[in-house]
Amino acid sequence: MDPDAPRTTPIVALAGGVGAARFLSGLVRAVAPEDVTAIVNTGDDCVFYGVHVSPDVDIVTYALAGRIDRARGYGLEGDTTAVIETLGALGHETWFRLGDRDFAHCQHRSCRLAQGVGLAAIADELRRALGVATRILPMSEAPCPTIVELSGRRRVHFEEYLARDGAPDDVEGVDLSAARAAAAAPGVLEAIAAARVILLCPSNPVVSIGPILAVQGVREALREARAPRVAVSPIVGGVPVKGPADRLLRGLGIEVSARGVARLYADLLDGFVLDQRDAAQAAEIEALGMRVCAVDTLMRTPDLATALARTALALARTAR
Ligand code: GDP
């Protein structure tokens, strides 16, 4: 069908970066890619080397384009690094590894922002340029930096915490006040209201899903949505598959477990897919008021990611 033809977008997925990208790549093999709208965290957005980088939006776009660098989990496969090497030789810090083609996409974003175009329209331009049929919506067009609060009253942007400092364990809080003050991007609340199924990807609950839920009106829209809402646990066997979710949850005094994540979303979920390794927590999670399904949630291959997406969709059909 004509990719530009207007159509309903029955599946909405809230997404962070790497875990979400794997899940969404599986989801778009289970349903028509154009029937999915990904609402993506922009709390990680930052200006590096003079260009506006949207790490999670770009990870999701590159993964759905089939061009993600699988080994790193971000960036474009086979990309070169002449730009940051040259900047490094000129004395710039180069801890944020932005490849050359990736840099060009971010340069495009910056040029378009300077022309007054919004982040949502720019994300749409980029995903279309990369041949992605799935709609990719940033959660907000306003700056929403996620700030990690560390011991000694230090406050750092999330990318400084993760990519520069290697995600230390002395987290004392996470400041989402910018997201709380931000309006949702055009299309976000409308997509949630129109959705037939809403999925929360297996993403970091504190710094990926947390900022999306903090944006004005989003949590309320999800609570009021007519669609069944199902989350996939990012915690497997009591630990994150990847990334600092354990350090961030601990820092906020939240149990590092599937149950701890389910509690964070308890007011807005109908269903929760947890890993079979955590199946002993199923009854307690059900007692929060949601249906639970325990399966292998480790997306080691595209087929396993597709199977996980099908499980989440099947749970959504019965959860409400
Ligand atoms: P980030 O912004 O790049 O950290 O990306 P996300 O927030 O989307 O992903 C991080 C989360 O994804 C971590 O908490 C991981 O545990 C989770 N994750 C990554 N791969 C998998 C997987 O194969 N299965 C499950 N269940 N979770 C995963």
**Which letter, b or e, does each residue of 111-128 get, where b requires 16 or more Cβ atoms within 10 Å of its Cβ?**
ebeeeeeebbebbbebbe
Q: Ligand 1 atom 27: the closest Cα is on which residue?
A: 234
| Residues flanking ligand 1, CB < 6 Å | 16-20, 22, 56, 202-204, 208, 232-234, 236, 240-243, 245, 297-299
Query: How confident is the prediction for the chain on average, in pLDDT?
Result: 96
DSSP per residue, 43-100? TT-EEETTEEE-HHHHHHHHHHTT-B-TTTSSSBTT---HHHHHHHHTT----S---H
206 closest CA partner among 265, 287, 156, 119: 265
pLDDT value of residue 9:
53
Q: Whose CA is nearest to atom 24 of ligand 1?
A: 298
Model pLDDT for residues 140-164, shown as the tens digit of each residue: 999 999 999 999 999 999 999 999 9
238 vs 232: CA distance, rounded Å: 14
The ligand 1 atom at the shortest distance from the C-alpha of residue 15 is 8
- State in Å: Cα 257 to ligand 1 middle: 14
Element (DSSP H or E) covering residue 29: helix 18-30
- Cβ(240)–Cβ(284) under 8 Å? no
Nearest CA to ligand 1 atom 1: 17
% of the chain at pLDDT higher than 90: 96
> For residues 135 and 124, what is the distance between their CA atoms, to the nearest angstrom?
7
Q: Which domains does the chain have, with CATH numbers?
A: 11-144+177-319 (3.40.50.10680)
| pTM for the model | 0.96
pLDDT surpassing 50 at residue 126: yes
Spacing, Cα 71 to ligand 1 middle (Å): 14
